[in-house]
A and B are shown apart, each in its own frame.
Chain A
Amino acid sequence: EPEVTQTPSHQVTQMGQEVILRCVPISNHLYFYWYRQILGQKVEFLVSFYNNEISEKSEIFDDQFSVERPDGSNFTLKIRSTKLEDSAMYFCASSVSPVGGGPGGYEQYFGPGTRLTVT
């Protein structure tokens, strides 16, 4: 069964450093997302991406964050200068369609997550 993969599973970095989190979405999916979950809190939407453009972003997704689809398979989240409060689990997700589209059209498939620890 196709699945979303993420690397690395755990990343430790020092405050102020840049990190790149990588995701390989399911191959026929067109919409890509990043979410994060700070320890003990709920999962929060960061950004959605379609057709090589950001389609929506949350207030959390400020200028320190960027996303890219550098080739036909990878989808990356970059944090330019990490802060302590960026420590969280980051989930990548992909879907065929964001809304509508019949059975499975709404469904987002999640990767296993990358745990980012900023020290």
Chain B
Amino acid sequence: AQSVTQLDSHVSVSEGTPVLLRCNYSSSYSPSLFWYVQHPNKGLQLLLKYTSAATLVKGINGFEAEFKKSETSFHLTKPSAHMSDAAEYFCVVSVGKLVFGQGTRLTINP
């Protein structure tokens, strides 16, 4: 069965420092992977998606993710955190329906 594991339930960084949110996936074939973001009291917004075209995927708001098949990982990164990045981030695998990870809460310290 397809699944994703987000390795950190909470990440805290200072504004202006890099962000790394970790995700490992389990799939019997090449997966479609996504990162969604959920700001407080808001819906789920797509940050970026991987669908086997390129292993380095660029998304909105300066976020990137790299698909590494050898490590079964799809970590989300951003070079410099902004206060507005504070939110819950979900790594997701698609099997038609979406299968969500547990989520990582990102806190940005001033």
Contact = CB atoms under 8 A, between A and B. Distances in A.
Interface residues of B, number: 21
A60 to B, nearest CB: 12
Interface stretch (B60-68, B69-77, B93-101): B93-101
Interface stretch (A13-21, A42-50, A68-76, A77-85): A42-50
Interface residues of A, number: 25
B97 to A, nearest CB: 4
A43 B94 contact: no
A50 B100 CA distance: 21
A91 B43 contact: yes
Contacts of A107: 34, 46, 49
A110 B97 contact: no
A44 B100 CA distance: 7
